[in-house]
Amino acid sequence: MKNTKLSLLDDKQKLGWLLGAVVFVAAPHALNLKPLVMVFFLLLSAWFFGSLYWNLRLPNKTLLFMLTMAGASLVLLLYRRIWGQEAGSSLFIVGLGLKLLETKTQRDAYLVVFLSFFVGLTQYLFSQSIPMAGYTLIAVILLIAAMIGLNSNQAFPVKARLTLAGVMVAQALPIMLLLFVFFPRINGPLWILPDDSHNAKTGLGDTISPGSFNHLALSQETAFRVDFDGELPPPKDRYWRGPVFWNTNGEKWSLSPTLPIALGHKPTFTDNFHHYVVTLEPHNQRWIFALDLPYTFPSEFEQTIDYQLLNKSYVTERKQYRIVSGTTYTTGTMSKSEMKKGLQLPATLGNRLYDLVKGWQKDSTNPKQLVDRALQFFREEPFYYTLNPPLLSGNSVESFLFETRQGFCEHYATAFVILMRIGGIPARVVTGYQGGQWNNIGRFLEIKQADAHAWAEVWLPDSGWTRIDPTAAVAPDRIEHGIDVETQIAFREIRFNFGGDTQRDRGLAMGYFWKKARMFASSIDHAWDSWVLAYNTDNQNKFFQWLGLFDWRSVGLWLSLGLTFSLLPIAWLILPKPGTQDDPAKITYLKFLRKLASVGFTQQIGEGPLCFADRIGKTSPELDKVVKPIFQLYVRIRYEAFHEPNDLKQLRHLVKKMATSKFKFIHK
């Protein structure tokens, strides 16, 4: 390839469009990377812009080397490394800006375009949403249009370049879809770099304390979505089990080391089975959420002794899995180690708690009655369910139960477990999600971070580990109706969802339609997650079986046929056809030749434009004054390296202005 030098003055339009495409590609990283990285990139881009339009000098090799070291040092200073998701993307952004400043030849410009394609791919390390896919598609069209500009003169207008780039991308889409569907999938996450598995994500943590769920209650982020094969479970059964907490120091609860469930500890299910598929958002923890309790689940998961499901590795990408759960069960006996952990109490508890439980025990002859007595206490005393409880002082459990009596779900769950342990009943805190919003457009249940919940489990002789939710005693609407996430965030206080379409019935049509619009958008997003992002090896094999393809030979045959039938119409579209011309200057020139032919001058085979012009000039000097500027302008547009941007417009004007009737009888 000839490495043509580029001029900042003569190739201003080409390089300006290249700069615009590069900035457009890098722009979304402003939401992902440190601000200083983007400021550094924008300063380099502004320098290149100044060199194009304000005659600033580009840096020499020494200064460029110093800028390179400064950019690498900046990334290292901000991230303490130069690899990984954010640090690696930052390094590419810095390199893209530096490469702009050394763009002096056509080959340099090509390298800028290729690096921009790679930077566009790094966007998917942070977001794989539909808007990002659409944005990337536009970026690809702009980059291809910039490449077309690098290989054409200024007579080829910008609109034509963008149109051609869009057509090229559209022609490639069928091939892309075929390769996506039929090409072997890569096992494991594609969009992840080393050392990114522990980046913080919104979701449940590995410790809880009173007030630790408040930030989740004001989050609209999706935790996971669920597609049920049959009927939706009733609200009272929509408990999605997550981390289970045994250990406490009186203020904070922490997780115990996980142990796999033993054969004798598996629960016995009797009824109410639900089959469903979960699409889980990445949360960078191992836990997997399932309807309480999971009955069958994929072999890649392990179940702990407290019935929590764990993935083999951290969930760093969107994950889809199928589970069968039963909501009616008994868990059987309890081991000595579970008994010890389930009765562990901190040494800081005050006498008021012990006195309260002793008073209940006088009227209780068995553990079940003691549980009911504690729930009655929460139900009848003036407890208040709120996102904004007052601060707890001294012993947090005593302060909550006897003084403030205002709290969120974790306040009630942790206090209830402490009370049960004082009464000699093994208990533990279970966290996860409760409820969810039914999307009647996409027919799935959407669980948001605002649905995060904590409840208790106590061990009873007849049923084993039994779910007890003290929040239901204080705020039964929380369980029966669920959270109204939008209004809860707006008012920053607990709001329940009292019926789906009441807004419409009250005449608030805009609120109703806005809710439907959000459901529609969520349905599209869920379809994208299920059919595109979750299209892994297992889903591909299921799709092949549905098509009747059971070996790679038949898959290869269908792929070959699909590519052939996709390429044939594309070939028909892009191959030149007789009588068609794509060059606007050529089209105008042919119109000019037809006008000359009408007065008797016809271009001979092998006769160039300038030779034709000389022949006309010798025959008709009067006509020569009219046609010679047209011939010269056409030659400059078609064959010279540089010409004025206005030349094509001038050519069209001169040809249109030429009146053939004036020269009708000149040629003999």
Which among 29, 292, 306, 409 is annotated as catalytic? 409
Distance CA 339, CA 361 (A): 20
Residue 481 is among the residues annotated as catalytic for this protein: no
Q: Which residues pair with 287 in a beta bridge?
A: 310
H or E, element range at 488 = helix 485-491
Number of H helices, E strands in the chain: 24, 18
Which among 196, 292, 306, 469 is annotated as catalytic? 469
Residue 469 is among the residues annotated as catalytic for this protein: yes
Residue 551 is among the residues annotated as catalytic for this protein: no
Distance CA 482, CA 240 (A): 13
Q: Which two tokens stand for residue 211?
A: 């007030």
Asked if 276 and 318 count as a contact pair (C-beta separation under 8 A), the reply is no
Start-to-end C-alpha separation, the chain: 49
Asked if 258 and 310 count as a contact pair (C-beta separation under 8 A), the reply is yes
What is the SS3 assignment for 462? coil
H or E, element range at 453 = strand 452-460
**Residue linked to tokens 């040809």:** 655
Q: Which two tokens stand for residue 577?
A: 């056809």
Pairing of strands 222-228, 444-448: antiparallel
Q: What is the total residue count of the chain? A: 668
**Residue linked to tokens 């965030």:** 489
Distance CA 145, CA 157 (A): 11
What ranges in 206-350 are assigned the alpha helix state H? Answer: 214-217, 336-342
- Phi and psi of 546, rounded to 5°? -65, -35
Distance CA 113, CA 110 (A): 5
Distance CA 239, CA 438 (A): 15
Asked if 320 and 279 count as a contact pair (C-beta separation under 8 A), the reply is yes
| Catalytically active residues, by annotation | 409, 453, 469
